[in-house]
A and B are shown apart, each in its own frame.
Chain A
Amino acid sequence: MAIGAKRVPAQEASRRGASSEEAALGAAAPLLEIEGLRVSFLQYGRGLQRRTVQALAGVDLSVGAGELVALVGSSGSGKSLLAHAVMGLLPDNARSSGSIRYAGEPLDGERLLRLRGKELALVPQGVTYLDPLLRAGEQALGRQRGPQARSRLRAVFSRFGLPERAERLYPHQLSGGMARKVLVSAAALGGARLVVADEPTPGMEAGKAAEALQALRELADGGCGVLLLTHDIEAALRVADRVAVLYAGEAVELAAASDFAGAGERLRHPYTRALWQALPANGFRPLPGVQPAPEEAAASCAFAARCGQAAPECRAAKPAMRVWRGGQVRCFKPD
């Protein structure tokens, strides 16, 4: 795996240890800070039984300007919910707690309404997020009008490799890759400072997926903060500066992308290392067992049941996120 020059400082910082955590936690002033984000749902079971389903059980991460942070979690682990929570678009039956701050101030209410579509942009999963009755060009422009916006649209489309006729196509005429590029273009056109991209690659061929990720990398290089939500750790590592790992609804590790190297010696959490070693290029060793639901692990370390190093304390209490070797980790006995 090639490691970009961009990420070398972070790598050095992690070598120097916890004292210079700043570098790995985003040297620039963070655009987005998420602390202890929890999201749950009210669900109606049989009859009038009501139960709460915990989807996110504690996510901490931050994204700085010009930085691409990937949140890696398995499918159905609540990544989309995190995206919707940041954008303030959770469904009515969802309850969230914790803090989400944008540029140092809480992101809610009027401020959220004002920033959505301007400084905040969501790049959703795919073609179903495009209005089937509107042409791609119109959708990418959103509320922008006029000849200036048109020419900017043309420029952005060609930058992302979309042909000019794509402007006049309806969503059902777009390929999956084109639709995702239209969605990325829309974020770029809106002049967003923070972009949240939700699984932009599944179902695309490798080449197209790489292009879509490259488009996000370009947004970050242009000064945006980008939060990439994905299940594909390999793809994420190709473009990300830092990686957050989600397990059973909790962020368990926050690491520099360069920490994912060799046999994973520089990684901090046993789950992250298992994830890394399960990749075909790194030994192809699958981790037995399945992730518990967040409520099953409410009072213990969520990973304890599958962890080789689990001690009695791991089953008795929940570890908190703590700074460790230039990153962060949720573990009593990090390596």
Chain B
Amino acid sequence: MEKLSADIQDGRRRGAGAEAAQSASGGEGIKGGWGLYLLGKALRLILLLAAVSAVTFTLVSHSPVDPVRAYIGADILRVGPEQQAQIAAYWGLDEPPLERFFRWVGALLSGDLGTSMIYREPVADVIAERFASSALLMAAAWLLSGALGFSAGIAAAMAHGRWPDRLIRRCCYLLASTPPFWLALLLLTVFGVALGWFPIGLAAPAGMAAEEVGWLDRLRHMALPALTLSVVGIAPVALHTRQKLLEVLASDHALYARSRGERGWALLRRHGLRAVALPALSLQLAGFSELFGGAVLAEQVFSYPGLGQATVQAGLRGDVPLLMGLVLGSALFVFAGNLLADLSYRLVDPRLRERSRTS
């Protein structure tokens, strides 16, 4: 009987050995795993862009805005119907929508995004120029909200149940329920008008030549929009980080760490930060869509010439090529954020790293 059970154990041990050998040789699978992963993501991106452009085009072609009227504006009385028809024909608006869509797709595939009706420049140029100023604004807001939210979340969790925790939590609820455009107006009133610390709008002082605009000017003009935009992101990151850190601190492994004499900030550094940094980072990356949406509002209030403002203009004036370009660009931007969040997990978390190897 004893012999038998010993044999069984031996067999089990051999089984365990084979398992270990398998996981050791799993390293060869790395390349295949990553290739498949990226292929899947690329496929998903193409489907996403196709769906987004089809939906956008359908919506725009049913829009009540007449691009010709929007373009001519107040001079509409002085432009006769024949001239309006000519403009429409020049833009190709007299063709059926489906034909226009496929012509646009054909041009897109050959790398041509078309020409903006309102700026009368290639769409790619308009987006590139606008993106440069928006990217700076969004990056500043992104970093600011990430840093503030993350530290506030950690401070709250470390003071769990005491007054700093309650204060931070209440501030977060307040921020989360504040409409960004209202906050923008408030900041504008207080810091722009009453105190006069910051300019009330635009990306550079009015009437100054582009070459003369210094970094300080740009920063001063960016400060209020960036602050407004960052406020949108602080609360989610802070509350999420707080919750996650509380979970970590209540976990078995934190109890074990405390039994070994670790405590307070040292315990946080060793066991907490790694566990909460990743979710916070991925939340921030996945928040690209809110960042973009917030930018539209903030840029509008501060007359900041960025992507957001261009999007509003394109929508209100029926500039289909520009709107399509912007929608594709923003879809790409949000997709990139989500992809980065996913990648950061796969690269940093040992458990997922292992899975991508064996898959």
Contact = CB atoms under 8 A, between A and B. Distances in A.
Interface of A: 84, 87, 89, 113, 116-118, 120-122, 124, 128-134, 142-143, 170, 172-173, 175, 186, 190, 205-207
B9 A205 contact: yes
A89 B257 CA distance: 11
A130 B270 CA distance: 12
A128 B351 CA distance: 14
B271 A118 contact: no
A133 B12 CA distance: 28
Nearest to B256: A129
Interface string B270-312: 1100110000000000000000000000000000000000000
Interface in B5-38: 5, 9, 12-13, 16, 23
Given A116-B260, A143-B262, A190-B260, A128 B350 contact: no
A124 B261 contact: no
Contacts of A190: 260
A177 B259 CA distance: 21
A132 B263 CA distance: 18
19 contacts: A89-B258, A116-B261, A121-B259, A124-B256, A128-B251, A128-B253, A131-B271, A131-B275, A132-B275, A132-B350, A133-B271, A133-B275, A134-B271, A142-B262, A143-B262, A143-B266, A172-B350, A173-B354, A206-B5
Given A84-B255, A120-B259, A186-B260, 11 more contacts: A89-B258, A113-B263, A116-B259, A116-B260, A122-B259, A124-B256, A128-B252, A131-B270, A133-B349, A133-B350, A170-B351
Nearest to B258: A89
Nearest to B248: A131
Given A131-B257, A173-B354, A205 B12 contact: yes
Contacts of A132: 253, 275, 350-351
B324 to A, nearest CB: 44
A129 B262 contact: no
A233 B351 CA distance: 36
Nearest to A196: B259
A175 B350 contact: no
Contacts of A133: 271, 274-275, 349-350
Interface residues of B, number: 27
A122 to B, nearest CB: 4
B255 A129 contact: yes
Nearest to A131: B253
Contacts of B274: 133-134
B256 A117 contact: no
Instruction: Among B13, B251, B260, B349, find the residue whose CB has the most chain A CB atoms closer than 10 A.
Output: B260
Nearest to A117: B261
A142 B260 contact: yes
Contacts of B253: 128-132
Contacts of B275: 131-133
B15 to A, nearest CB: 11
A46 B256 CA distance: 32
Contacts of B5: 206
Nearest to B10: A207
Contacts of B354: 170, 172-173
Contact of A173 (B23, B252, B261): B23
Contacts of A172: 350-351, 354
A250 B278 CA distance: 45
Contact of A116 (B12, B13, B258): B258
A131 B251 CA distance: 9
Nearest to A126: B252
A133 B275 CA distance: 7
Q: Which 6 A-B pairs have the closest CB atoms?
A: A117-B261, A117-B260, A122-B259, A129-B256, A170-B350, A116-B261
Nearest to A169: B350
B91 to A, nearest CB: 57
Instruction: Among B23, B256, B351, find the residue whose CB has the most chain A CB atoms closer than 10 A.
Output: B256
Contacts of B349: 133
Interface string B23-55: 100000000000000000000000000000000
